Structure 1
Amino acid sequence: MRYAYAITSALLIGGAAATMTLQQPLGAQTPQNPVGMQAAAPRPGAPLSFAELTARLQPAVVNISTTQRVPVQTGNPFAGTPFEDFFGQFGGRRGQGQGGQPATRPAQSLGSGFIISADGYVVTNNHVIAAGTQGAVVEEIRVTLPDRREFVAKLIGRDPESDLALLKIDATGLPFVRFGDSTETRVGDWVLAIGNPFGLGGSVSAGIVSALHRSTGANGSAAYDRYIQTDAAINRGNSGGPMFDLNGNVVGINSSIFSPTGGNVGIGFAIPAEIAKPIIDTLRRGEEVERGYLGVGIQPVTPDIAGSLGLQRNRGELVSRVEPGEGAERGGIQVGDVIVEVNNQEVTPDNTLSFIVANLPVGTRVPIELIRDGRRRTVTVTVGKRPSAEELAGFNADENADPLGSGNPENEAAAANALGLQLTPLTPRIARDLRLNANERGMVIVSVDPSSDAAAKGLRRGLVIQSVNQRPVTTDAEVSAIVAEARRAGRDNVLLYVHSPRERQSIYIAVELSDS
C-alpha cells in the first residue's frame, strides 16, 4: 500500500467550536518566579513521572481560537451556458449573499500558545491566527486559560516567514514560562509537549528529541527551516504550543507534523527557541523583523556536482544566480562560485548559507570565502535587507506552451550524444520565441533521450544550457570538446548551467556521461 506523506501544520480548523477539557491552575506566579523555574532536573535516566513538571507548566499553556468569515462559492450549474442569467434571476449568482454582498460562512480555528509574561503576552504560530483560506477575514482572536477564563487578544506582531506571532491579553498576575537554550538540546533528550490537539485542551505528551536542524519545506522559508524533530505526540491543534525540556524551559514551539494520515506518527517538528526568542523579542518591542540578504540564488553541492567540480562533499553551496545591484554583485560574487564560509562560519548542510546570512545584521560587512575555478578566494560583502516573500516570488510563463514553437528550430544539430541531448544554438529568433534577450547565448535542448541521466535529472525540451563545466557554450563543438576533456580527466559527469525560460530561473545540474 502506498501512502501520500505530507508536512502539515498542527492546526485544527472547523466550522464549530471544539469541546475543551482544561486543567485548573495552581496559582499565579510573579516575574521573579516564573512557572517551571522551581522544577528540579530529575536524576539521569528515564523519569518515573512527568506529573510534577506538568502541574507546574500546564497553567501557562493556553488555547487559541479565531473567528473567521470565509467566502462561499454558491455555484451556478448553468455557468457558461445561455441559462446562466436565467439562473441568476432566482438568487443563484455565484458568491453573492444578501444585498449583492459576497456570500460568506463562519469558521473557527483552534490552536495552542503559551504565556511568556505575567502581564499577558502570549506566543503562538502565525498560521494559528492567520486566515485559513484566501479571501477569509479574521474577525476575532480569543485566548482561553486553563481556568476557563477567556480574553479577546490583541495581535502585537507576526512574522510569517518564521511562522511566529505575539498576542497580548488584558490580564495581570498570570503564570508564565521562559525560553530555554535550544542550542544545548541534544538528540535523545527528553521533551514534554503541552497543547490543544483536536480541541482537547491541556493535553500532555512526552518523548525525546529525534533529530536537530531538520529541513521540511513546511514554512517555505529556507532561512528558518531548521526544526527540532520529536517523537512526542503532536497532532492538529498542537500548533503554537510549547515544547519543554526537563527544567521546564521552552526549547521549541510545536509547528508541524509529517504524516500519511494527518495524525501523529511520531514525527513532529518544533521551531527552536534560539530562532523564536529573538523574533518574539523584536515583535514585543514593536519593531520589524529584518533578515540579512546577499542577493544570490543557491543550491547545495550534491555528490555529483562535487564530483564534476572536484570539490569536497557536504561543504559549501553553489551560486546559481546573482541579483543585479545587491550586495553579492557589488562584492564580486559570480555565478558558479561555491561559497564555503561566511563571517568565519562554515557553510554545511546543518548550517546553511541562508540561515547564516538571514541572522546577520543588515548593513554589516562580512568576509565570504569561496571557491572559483578551483581556487579559494575571499571577498567582502555588505549584507542587505531580505525582501518579502511576495517580492521574491518569480514570474511563471504559460506552462502549456512549447517554448520552441511548432516545427524544427533553425540550425538544428545533434550534439553531445554522451549527454543524451540533442542541442541547437540559441539564435536571436529562438531567443525571441523563448522570451529571452536577443543577446543571450547558449545551447537549446531540442530533445532528451528518455533513458539518459539527463532525462532522470529533469532536463527537457526548451531549456537552455548556458555553460558546461562552468565554460560558456554556443556550439556543438564546444560542448563535445568539454565532454571529451572531462573523460580524459577520468570524470563520470559534467556540470551544466541550465536556464528555464518558463520559470525564469537558472540552476546547476550534474549529468552523468553515457558510454557511447
Structure 2
Amino acid sequence: MTGAFADVPDRLAPRPSPADRPPPEQEAAFGRPAAAVGGFADGRPTPPPRPVPPPPAEALLRAFGPKGTGERGLQEPPGGRPGRRRTAAGPWWKSDARSDPWRDPYAPAGLGAPAVYDEASRPGPVVVEPQDRTKLRVRDLSVRLSVLALLAVLLVGAIGGGAGWYLTKTNDETPLLAPGTQLSQVDPGITREPGSVSQIAESVMPSVVSIEVRVGQAGATGSGVVVDAENGYIVTNNHVVSGADGVEGAEIRAVFVDGSGSAARIVGRDPASDIAVLKVEKPGLVAASLGSSDDVVVGDPVVAIGSPLGLAGTVTSGIVSALERPVRLAGEGSDTNAVISAVQTDAPINPGNSGGALVDASGALIGINTAIASTGAGGSIGLGFAIPVDTMRDIAEQLIESGSAVHSSLGVNTRSVTDGTRDGALVLNVEPSSAAAAAGIREEDVVIAVEGERVGSSEELVVAVDAFQPGDTITVEVVRGGGSIELEATLDAA
C-alpha cells in the first residue's frame, strides 16, 4: 500500500498466536500453585450417608404388614374382600390400592410443590392481600344467603308495622277534656336558713323603694332606702333626683314593695358625696337596719336590691371585692362631682340600681349602690361601687338637720402623676387664701402623703382630706425640688 496509509498495519492480516503461558506477573497472581495437583475441587470431604429410617415396630408389622414375603402395601381386610359398603368401585379399594404410596407404610417421605389455588378459574371469598392481610369479598357470598336475610328483614318490618297499625286503629281515643282533674302536690321540702339570699331579700325588700322622676315629657328611675320610718325619710343618690330640683312641674314619686306610691319631696342633696334625702308622707314604713363600715371585710357575701332598668324589687348577690376604692362620680345631666371611698362588689348592678341597698349576710345596710364600671355598653361587668354606710349616715344626718352638708377642703386642684417609682397628686393651682396657700403648698408640688398615709392619685387626695373635719390640722408631705418636705395645713369648710 502506498500513499498516506502506507504505514498503517493491515488489520486483516494473520495475527501471531499468543504465548503458551501468560506473562509472569499474571501467572503469579492467578496461576495454579506449584503444590496443587488436579482440579481445585479435589480433596473435598465426602458428605456422610443419609440415615436409614429404622424398621417399623413389630406390632405395626403384625397388624398392617403384608403376609407374604416380598409383598408390599396393605394386606387384605380380615375375612377377605370388604363388606357391602366397600366395593371394587369404592375409592379406598381400587386395583392399585396396594401400590398407593399413601397406603404403603414403607413408602419414603418427600416434599412436593406447594398447593396452588386457581384463583382465576375458581376465586374464593377470602382474598389474601400483600402484607398477609385477608379480607372477605362480599360479592362472593352466597346469593341465597343474602336473599334470605333480605326477606327476613322485610318480613319482620311488615309484621311490626301491621301490628302497630292494628293496635292504633282498635284502641279507642281518650277524651280531650277531663273535668275535675287535680294535679298531685308534694309536701314542701325547701328550707331557707337564716342568712340565705332569699331570707335576706324577704327581710330587706320592704325598706327598698323605686324612685320615679318625671320632668316634662322625660322620665327616669332609680332606687332608694327608707332610713327613718317614723318621719318618712328616704336616702337615694343625688344624680337620681338632681334634675328635678327647682324645676316647675317636676314630679318625684316613691313606689313601695306592695305597689303603693307616694309623692316625695327633696329634703336636701349633696353633689360632693352624691347623697340626697327625700321625704314621703306615708304611714307604716319599714326602715332598713344600718350596719357599720368597720365591720365589712373583703370577701363578705352581699346582696344588692333595687330597680335596675325599672324592674322593681330585683335582687342580685355577690361578695365585697375591695374596700376604700377611690371612685370619681360625675353623671350627665347632674351637678354631681364627687370622689367617694367606695365599697367595690361583684354583685350585678345596672342603671336604675342607683340609690338602692347593699346589705350584708345579716340584712344590715352597708352601702348605697351608686356607680358601675362599664366597657361602654352600660351593663354590669362585675364591678359595682357603693357609698359606705358610715359616709351615708353622716351626710344624711346633716341634710336632715340643715338641708346641706359640709366637707373639708385643702384648696388645691390636682392631677394624678407618677415618676415610675412613686405616685402622687401634682398640684396644678392653689386657691388664694385657702388652707393650702396658708400652709405654703405651691404649684408643681406633688402631694405623696397625708398624715403619714400614702397618696397615689388626685382621687386619693380628695378622699384623704374629706376624712377630716373642717378646722382639723393635718400634715401634708410634698415633693419639691427633688426632695420631700412636710407642711401643716388647717382645713377649710367647703
**In which range does the TM-score fall when normalised by the shorter chain?**
0.5 to 0.7
Q: Which residue of 2 aligns with 1:67?
A: 214
Separation in 1, partners of 2:218, 2:384: 26
Question: Which amino acid counterpart does residue 201 of structure 2 have in structure 1?
Answer: T
What do you get for the CA RMSD once the two structures are aligned?
2.8
Match of 2:455 in 1: 347
Q: CA deviation at 1:144?
A: 1.3
Note the alpha carbon deviations across 1:75-128, whole angstroms, 9 max, x for none.
xxxxxxxxxxxxxxxxxxxxxxxxxxxxxxx22221111111222110111122
Deviations 1:134-176 (A, max 9, x none): 9975622111111222111121100122211101111334211
Change (3 A) 1:169 1:161: same
Q: Indicate yes or no: 2:201 matched with 1:54.
A: yes
Aligned-pair CA distance for 1:280: 0.9
User: Is residue 2:486 matched to residue 1:378?
Assistant: yes
Q: Is the 8 A contact 2:339 2:459 kept in 1?
A: no
Indicate the percent of aligned positions where both proteins have the same amino acid. 38
- In the TM superposition, what are the counterparts of 1:42-441 in structure 2 within 5 Å? 42=195, 49-69=196-216, 106-119=217-230, 120-131=232-243, 139-219=250-330, 224-259=339-374, 260-304=376-420, 306=421, 313-314=422-423, 316-348=424-456, 352-386=460-494
Task: Give TM-score, length-normalised by structure 1.
Answer: 0.53
Deviations 1:384-441 (A, max 9, x none): 233xxxxxxxxxxxxxxxxxxxxxxxxxxxxxxxxxxxxxxxxxxxxxxxxxxxxxxx
For 1:267-317, what per-residue CA distance to the aligned partner results, in whole angstroms no more than 9, with x for missing partners? 22222223222111111112521222222222334144x5xxxxxx24x43
CA contact (8 A) 2:348 2:380 kept: yes
* Alpha-carbon distance in structure 2 between the residues aligned to 1:139 and 1:245: 35
Q: 50-59 or 211-220, which moves further after superposition?
A: 211-220
Question: SS at the partner of 1:127?
Answer: helix
Q: Partner residue of 1:97?
A: none
User: Given the superposition, is the C-alpha separation of residues 135 and 50 from structure 1 closer, same or farther in structure 2, using an over 3 Å criterion?
Assistant: closer
Q: Work out whether residues 163 and 219 of structure 1, in 8 Å CA contact, stay in contact via their aligned partners in 2.
A: no
Structure 1 residues 360, 244: CA separation in 2 closer, same or farther (over 3 Å shift)? same
TM-score relative to the length of structure 2: 0.55
Between the aligned partners of 1:40 and 1:365, the Cα distance in structure 2 is 50
Task: Flag the 1:129–1:358 CA change in 2: closer, same or farther, 3 A.
Answer: same
SS in 2 for 1:366: strand
Secondary structure at 1:278 match in 2: helix
Describe the shift of the 1:349–1:247 C-alpha distance in structure 2 as closer, same or farther (beyond 3 A): farther
Q: What is the CA–CA distance in structure 2 between the aligned matches of 1:215 and 1:137, rounded to whole Å? A: 36
Separation in 2, partners of 1:184, 1:300: 31
CA separation of 1:53 and 1:289: change in aligned 2, threshold 3 A: same
Residues in 2 aligned to 1:346 and 1:138: alpha-carbon distance in whole angstroms = 48
| Equivalent position amino acid for 1:237 in 2 | G
Q: Is the 8 Å Cα contact of residues 207 and 288 (structure 2) preserved in structure 1?
A: yes
Per-residue Cα deviation, 1:1-47 (whole angstroms, up to 9, x for no partner) = xxxxxxxxxxxxxxxxxxxxxxxxxxxxxxxxxxxxxx9975xxxxx
The answer as to whether partners of 1:342 and 1:369 remain within 8 angstroms in 2 is yes
List alignment gaps of at least 5 residues for structure 1.
Answer: 1-38, 43-48, 70-105, 307-312, 387-516
Tell which structure's C-alpha radius of gyration is larger. 2
Query: Matches of 1:374 and 1:256 in 2, distance apart?
Result: 38
Alignment CA distance shift 1:350-1:250 (3 Å): farther
How has the CA–CA distance of structure 1 residues 346 and 261 changed in structure 2, closer, same or farther, with 3 Å as cutoff?
closer
The 1:287–1:168 alpha-carbon spacing in structure 2 relative to 1, beyond 3 Å, is closer
Change beyond 3 A, Cα 1:367–1:223 = farther
* Structure-2 change in CA distance of 1:298 and 1:135 (3 Å): same
Once residues 258 and 230 of structure 1 are traced to their aligned partners in structure 2, the CA distance between those partners, rounded to angstroms, is 11
1: CA distance between counterparts of 2:269 and 2:193?
34
Q: Distance in 1 between matches of 2:240 and 2:338?
A: 21
* Aligned equivalents of 2:444, 2:204: Cα separation in 1: 51
Instruction: Report the Cα offset of residue 180 of structure 1.
Output: 1.8
Q: Quote the Cα distance in structure 1 between the aligned partners of 2:277 and 2:193.
A: 29
- By relative contact order (CA 8 Å, sep 6+), the higher-ranking structure is 1
Letter of the 2:371 partner, please give it.
Answer: S
CA contact (8 A) 1:124 1:166 kept: yes
SS in 2 for 1:253: strand
State the distance in 1 between where 2:457 and 2:428 align.
17
The alpha-carbon deviation at position 217 of structure 1 amounts to 3.5
Amino acid at match of 1:60: S
Cα shift at 1:223: 5.6
> Structure 2: which amino acid aligns with 1:320?
L
Q: For residues 245-271 of structure 1, what are the alpha-carbon distances to aligned partners after superposition, in whole Å with 9 as ceiling and x for unaligned? A: 112111111122233322233222222
